[in-house]
Amino acid sequence: MASNKNSIKIHDHFNVTPPSSATHLSLPLTYFDVFWLRFHPVERTFFYSFPSQHTDPSFFYDQVVPKLKTSLSLTLQHFLPLAGKIVWPEDSEKPIIQYNPGDDDGVSLVIAESDANFNDILDNSPHEASESRSFVPHLESSDSSASVISIQITLFPNSGFCIGITAHHAILDGKSSTMFIKAWASLSQTSEESSPLVQELEPLFDREVIKDPKGLDTVFTNHWKNIASMLDPSDTNNKKSLEILSHAFPPKVEDSLRATFDLTRSDLEKIKKRVLSKWDTIVYEEESNNSNPYPKPHALSTFVATCAYVTVCIAKAFQESEKEKHKFWFAFTVDCRSRLEPPLPDKYFGNCVCGHVTDTKTEDFTNEDGLVLVAKKIYSTIKKIEKGALDGIEDLFSTYSSLMGENVVGIGVAGSNRFSVYGTDFGWGSPTKVEIPSVDRGVTIGIAESKDGKGGIQVELVLKKNVMGLFHTLFHAGLSEN
């Protein structure tokens, strides 16, 4: 296990702006955006090993940093909202994104150096969770404004570097943030001002394509105003605060470990086969009441298999380590672009995800047949989404609030195996490792495609040390079963 005595030295701090041709921009927030207004940001880190002939630090400072800085500026001219800020005008009922050339708008870019052992950082085995905090930048927010993204590039002398990105969830969902990163990587390989973006990376910012007949933007805005009032009843002027509620979602790194686990294509097929073989014999309450209309599927998705297997291992690890009876629930977000009427173009840039909860009985996750029960429940939730992706969205705040409580463990998901993060090449090859540091703000499963490109899944977790030890055992033991 790597030690946690690593230090970071800041070498430079830039404010990167689009080329001078960029113009003023003002963009409204939709209800998809407003829902995430004061949630914690999403953090992602991309680790790159130096080519063997370029291990000298001068290569990093003379070539890597200038190329990344120049290409970032060129990319921002296509993604102007990211160079701006979220503001809440006095005469507006909801916040907007605003970019003003010549103001202090732009993207914070920190250049740093770490004395951490690069090979230890790349290792998948459990290590101190706090280490990853060093490689992601702070995202500025206050009552009056909030930055959209911030970036940190960290050198590991003679070994490689890391690009850490912190993104405001009210402006970017996973698909949008991945589009921006891939666009930056693409332009980094040319760094010519006239270079066009490939067509699939050209963002669509048109907010008119999202219809809001229920006035959900007002519903969610009022929720945040009510939360502000509850946080400080004496402050009547601060209901329009844009400060991220970091204290409500702090990184849980004390006495905790971060680890990465691989589910190969073979592992996933084994899990799917195990679930489907017992599908008709394991019945949960809704089915026994004949209220579940969904028959056994011909095949099980990789998402359902992964989430069911990992959540059951997490639940059993909690139960065994803490010797207390917990209630568990599982939540995930769904990309609604193709599910709206009319459907949105795939290139729509902004938030277009909706949360859904799979709630089960306390014992379902830890039952002997918990894998089958939880897989069936997640599958059932997804089938309902196919009928109405936005059903119940107006009650999401109250739904999540009702699930909170003592000895209640909510398990979430971040990332996707469909984002192809290991294809993010800035000109020096594919990433050696990609992480989602922000999974440490809760019990969250970080998901990406396997690095080897053979159809597996990479799973990232941060858990208390005693829970991680048991999870590690359960995860591997379950895969060795016939």
The answer on pLDDT for 236 being more than 70 is: no
**pTM value?**
0.95
Give yes or no: residues 301 and 418 share one domain. Answer: yes
Are residues 281 and 220 part of one domain? Answer: no
Same domain membership, residue 225 and residue 184? yes
Instruction: Read off the CATH number of the domain in which 339 is found.
Output: 3.30.559.10
pLDDT-derived band at 1, boundaries 50, 70, 90: very low
Strand partners, 156: 160
Burial 449-470 (b: 16+ CB within 10 A, else e): bbbeeeebbbbbbbbbeebbbb
pLDDT at 78 over 80: yes
**78, 168, 169, 356: the active-site residue:** 169
Containing structural domain, residue 191: 8-248
Question: Is the pLDDT assigned to residue 57 strictly greater than 90?
Answer: no
Are 70 and 132 in a shared domain? yes
Q: Do 286 and 405 reside in the same domain of the chain?
A: yes
136: which residues sit within 8 A by CB, 6+ positions away?
A: 43, 45, 152, 164, 165, 166, 437, 438
End residue of a domain, out of 248, 273, 298: 248
pLDDT surpasses 80 at 6: no
Does residue 51 surpass a pLDDT of 90?
no
Encode pLDDT of 87-143 as tens digits.
999 888 899 999 998 778 999 999 999 999 999 999 999 999 999 999 999 999 999
**Of the given ranges (47-56, 170-179, 375-384, 458-467), which has the lowest mean pLDDT?**
47-56
Predicted confidence at residue 55, as pLDDT, reads 73
Cβ(238)–Cβ(377) below 8 Å: no
Dihedral (CA of 30, 34, 37, 42) sign? negative
Mean pLDDT of the chain: 91
Q: Is residue 345 part of a domain?
A: yes
**Residues 343, 321 share a domain:** yes
Same domain assignment for residues 315 and 211: no
Give a yes or no: residue 3 inside a domain.
no
Domain boundary among the residues 202, 221, 248 is at 248
**395 a catalytic residue:** no
Q: Do 49 and 179 fall into the same domain? A: yes
Q: How many domains does the chain have?
A: 2
Residue 425 annotated to the active site: yes
Closest among 277, 363, 365, 317 to 476, alpha carbons compared = 317
Mean pLDDT along residues 335-339: 94
Query: Within a domain: residue 157?
Result: yes
Closest CA to 134 of 417, 422, 440: 440
Query: Do 133 and 234 belong together in one domain?
Result: yes
Is 144 in the same domain as 201? Answer: yes
